[in-house]
Structure 1
Amino acid sequence: EAITAFERVLALQPDNLPVRTELARAYAQLGDPAAAKRELDLVTTNPATPANVKHNLSSYASVLEESLRGGPRTFHTTITAGTGYDTNINTATASSYLVVPALSALGPARIEDGTRAQSSGFTQLTATGTVRQPLSPATALFASLSADAKTPFETSDYAHTTLTAEAGTQFFRPEGDIFTLGASAQQFWFGGDDYSTTYALNGSWHNPLSASTSLTPYLSVSHINYETGLPDAHRIILGSSLTHRLPTSMPTTLIAGLYGGHEESEGTAADHLSHNIYGGQFGIEIFPTDNLALFTEARLEHRAYSAPYPLFFTERSDTQLDLSTGLTYALTKGLSLRPSISYRHASSNVGFFNYSRWLTQLNLRYTL
């Protein structure tokens, strides 16, 4: 009713600046920032408007313009520093001997100490920066850059560094759906040498099923360029995760997911490296207090290879189990402590790839 009354006055007195300002205020309260900004612009561009009033109204107009874009540009930076102990820093078998079927007449082959599982303490440093630029309430652009470096105490042969850049766009629906499309590039160094470069296209759909449950299907298509003489590979992964918040006295979130895909190595001579991938995961996060979160996760992955592994006369088949648990404790705003322990067991019908490892870690994370 107020808007109608203001419009009637302005129909007879289009230069009535106080009424037009009140009309802009009414539109803003009604949730129509576009109409509010239109009326404010008419006031600020009118020569009869005093300079000090123009200045004040321009500030409000800027706020409305940000609202039309979906909000201001935001920056987030996270830095994580930690130390830990890895019982198998080189992800190698602990066996001293291995039977190779093609050479079985010679007896078990001895595995040299330097290529067997080695333990070591390590330090790890991770930094991530993200910028998000809304274009409208329904669209935003984002870009991120992250770096991760893990350095063992005992030897630099197994040190590795990862640098990842990603950019993309997000689309939002009033119902809460979020569609994300992005492209990424990742460079991986191992032992101080170039190891691989990965280019990927990624997409996901965050679909709220209810106030407490959401489903997120995703798709990733990537190309891996190896610098070590290994054949390049193409990979596709399709999966989905389900998140559910339990109505308990302590906030609790359950996460479950399934995924599958295929990695194809280039060249027929590399068929024994091509494989199908199947996996699933389950996790739980509990918040006993406002500054404490407890988490546990389990993941199982199976890889079935396409051709017999050289000298073993059979297609390689791997199954990998990962278990992890830990907590996050907020020390101050933006600063948290995160101790964790994880276990991995990998079993394979090709003995080179049988291994297990324990990993304990203590991280300090700061978010700006």
Structure 2
Amino acid sequence: MNHAHRPQRTGNKSRPPAMLRILACAALLLTSTAHADALLDQARQLLDARAGEQAYQLLAPQEDTRAGEVEYDYLLGLAALQSNRTTRAVFALERVLSVQPDHSQARAELARAYFLIGENQAAHHEFSQVLRQDPPETVRSSIARYLNVLEQRFDAQLDQLSGYLELGVGHDSNVNSATSDSQVAIPALGNLVFTLDPGGLEQSDSFASVRGGLTYRRQLRPDLQAFVGGNIEDRRNADYDRFNIGTADAHAGLRLQSGRERYIAALQTQGLWLDGERYRTLAGLNLQWEHIFDARNQGSLFMQYATQHYPEQQTRDVNTTMIGAAWVHALKQTTAPVVFYSSLFGGTDDEQDGNYRHIGRDFWGLRLGVNYALSQKIGFNLLGSYQAASYGADDPLFLKTRRDDLYDASLTATYKATKDWSWRAQLRHSKNDSNIPITRYERTQMMLSLRRDFR
């Protein structure tokens, strides 16, 4: 009976607490917004007083949560410029333009940042974009001064000659990239087992090498550059001189810069010598398109066509066609820059003699790498790659179609002793898994080299 007299809860009595919660959230939001506005107001005052370092220290801790806000990123970019953090300024101002492309002040400051770090083509493009937005006369006059300096830079860079010379010593566990299996069964001969000549097995040896190269660039227009260059290398083994390798290559082409786009076309030729005898020649065309998405991301597409000729084994002659894509991404770091890069490619080696279809192949591959700059003097590079290949017909001796899986990994440490001198230590391991026994191998190389750059 007492239950009949218990007060009933109504919907009206539950509303005040809910309303209080809503009001509390609204008040918190208003307080946060007011605090944010106060932060930006304080940053503006510091920037007006040319206290860029203080403004940067005020704004930078909020970057993880506020990056993407136009006004915040713009002020952060200005603060980074005033405090000589030019690369960080580029990151922030790029974000402004990705959200608001018509932000002329941000574009002008981005152009100035590019100017300061020596990205002359990018600076010229951004300044030109600002002029198209019909800015005030004072801004036009300032931009004109920058453009005059850029023209002087372009004139000073009309002719550029650079080169390098590198001396190295090292050890190679398999100088001839040969199998370690001393016996092999040949299906075409009734699976008879043959013992391979010791000289055809993997051979370990020490080596010394010398490499050098020159590149000449000519600025035809502010946006167009011609280049020509070449490289030579001679690598000699301590004991197995019949596996000494020499290479020489030359290239010439054009590079066109249009805003964030870059187009490259080049002709290439290469020769390879084995123990002083010409082993292979190559001639081809390389095409590449690059796009700068922002200060930390760049992508590219590339294509190569080449003919490969073997003077003493003409049945191995092939025409190579390859296409691929690459991506470069830089982490948002200042003290220790980290750059990731990757590429995916595929192509064909078409045999020139139709009677030897087992020489031709289809292939595809993937490369992944990272550059880590521990300091201005010390850097590391880690690179890994994989390539799969399937040949065009059954091997005449082993009566099956050859398939290869090639793995390669390298670690390189570089010490820059001076502006032009550097030391490099490299460890590299390669492994080719194949269903043809005589083409399976593993190889480890270690090398220490000293390099001199000429500019």
TM-score by length of 2: 0.66
Q: Secondary structure at the match of 1:200?
A: strand
- Aligned positions of 1:48-197 closer than 5 A: 71-106=157-192, 108-174=193-259, 176-197=260-281
Amino acid at match of 2:408: D
Using the TM superposition, give the Cα deviation of residue 103 of structure 1 relative to its aligned residue in structure 2, in angstroms. Answer: 2.5
Using the TM superposition, give the Cα deviation of residue 250 of structure 1 relative to its aligned residue in structure 2, in angstroms. Answer: 1.7
Amino acid at match of 2:303: L
Using the TM superposition, give the Cα deviation of residue 167 of structure 1 relative to its aligned residue in structure 2, in angstroms. Answer: 0.4
Q: Determine if the alignment matches structure 1 residue 206 to structure 2 residue 327.
A: no
Q: Are 1:70 and 1:136, in contact at CA under 8 Å, matched by a contact in 2? A: no
Q: Give the Cα–Cα distance (whole angstroms) in 1 for the partners of residues 219 and 431 of structure 2.
A: 44
Task: Flag as ranges the 4+ runs of structure 1 deviating above 3 A.
Answer: 26-33, 63-71
Using the TM superposition, give the Cα deviation of residue 155 of structure 1 relative to its aligned residue in structure 2, in angstroms. Answer: 2.3
**Higher fraction of helix:** 2
Q: Determine if the alignment matches structure 1 residue 306 to structure 2 residue 397.
A: no
Q: Secondary structure at the match of 2:356?
A: helix
Using the TM superposition, give the Cα deviation of residue 229 of structure 1 relative to its aligned residue in structure 2, in angstroms. Answer: 2.0
The one-character-per-residue Cα deviations of 1:310-362 (angstroms, maximum 9, x if unpaired) are 12111100110001102110011111000010100101111110000110000
Higher relative contact order (CA 8 A, sep 6+): 1
Moved more, 338-347 or 230-239: 230-239
Q: Give the Cα–Cα distance (whole angstroms) in 2 for the partners of residues 91 and 104 of structure 1.
A: 27
Corresponding residue for 2:412? 326
Q: For the structure 1 residues 261 and 64, does the alpha-carbon distance in structure 2 shift closer, same or farther, using more than 3 Å as the test? A: closer
Q: For the structure 1 residues 320 and 64, does the alpha-carbon distance in structure 2 shift closer, same or farther, using more than 3 Å as the test? A: closer
Partner residue of 2:310 out of 226, 238, 245: 226
Q: Secondary structure at the match of 2:357?
A: helix
Corresponding residue for 2:55? none
Q: Secondary structure at the match of 1:332?
A: coil
**Unaligned stretches of 5+ residues in structure 1:** 1-25, 34-62
Corresponding residue for 1:295? 381
Corresponding residue for 1:11? none
Q: Are 2:408 and 2:428, in contact at CA under 8 Å, matched by a contact in 1? A: yes
Q: Give the Cα–Cα distance (whole angstroms) in 1 for the partners of residues 411 and 232 of structure 2.
A: 24
Q: Are 1:253 and 1:284, in contact at CA under 8 Å, matched by a contact in 2? A: yes
Using the TM superposition, give the Cα deviation of residue 238 of structure 1 relative to its aligned residue in structure 2, in angstroms. Answer: 0.5
Q: Determine if the alignment matches structure 1 residue 350 to structure 2 residue 426.
A: no
Q: Secondary structure at the match of 2:363?
A: strand
Q: Are 1:189 and 1:195, in contact at CA under 8 Å, matched by a contact in 2? A: yes
Q: Give the Cα–Cα distance (whole angstroms) in 1 for the partners of residues 370 and 167 of structure 2.
A: 24
- Aligned positions of 1:12-51 closer than 5 A: 29-31=144-146, 33=148
Corresponding residue for 2:361? 275
Q: Give the Cα–Cα distance (whole angstroms) in 2 for the partners of residues 349 and 70 of structure 1.
A: 57
Q: Are 2:154 and 2:219, in contact at CA under 8 Å, matched by a contact in 1? A: no
**Higher fraction of strand:** 1
Using the TM superposition, give the Cα deviation of residue 71 of structure 1 relative to its aligned residue in structure 2, in angstroms. Answer: 3.2
Q: Give the Cα–Cα distance (whole angstroms) in 1 for the partners of residues 143 and 261 of structure 2.
A: 25
TM-score by length of 1: 0.81
Q: Give the Cα–Cα distance (whole angstroms) in 1 for the partners of residues 243 and 153 of structure 2.
A: 49
Count residues with an aligned counterpart.
312
Q: Determine if the alignment matches structure 1 residue 245 to structure 2 residue 330.
A: yes
Q: Secondary structure at the match of 2:174?
A: coil
Q: Secondary structure at the match of 2:294?
A: coil
Q: Are 1:69 and 1:135, in contact at CA under 8 Å, matched by a contact in 2? A: no
Q: Give the Cα–Cα distance (whole angstroms) in 1 for the partners of residues 392 and 402 of structure 2.
A: 8
Q: For the structure 1 residues 32 and 210, does the alpha-carbon distance in structure 2 shift closer, same or farther, using more than 3 Å as the test? A: closer
Considering only CA atoms, is the larger Rg found in Structure 1 or Structure 2? 2
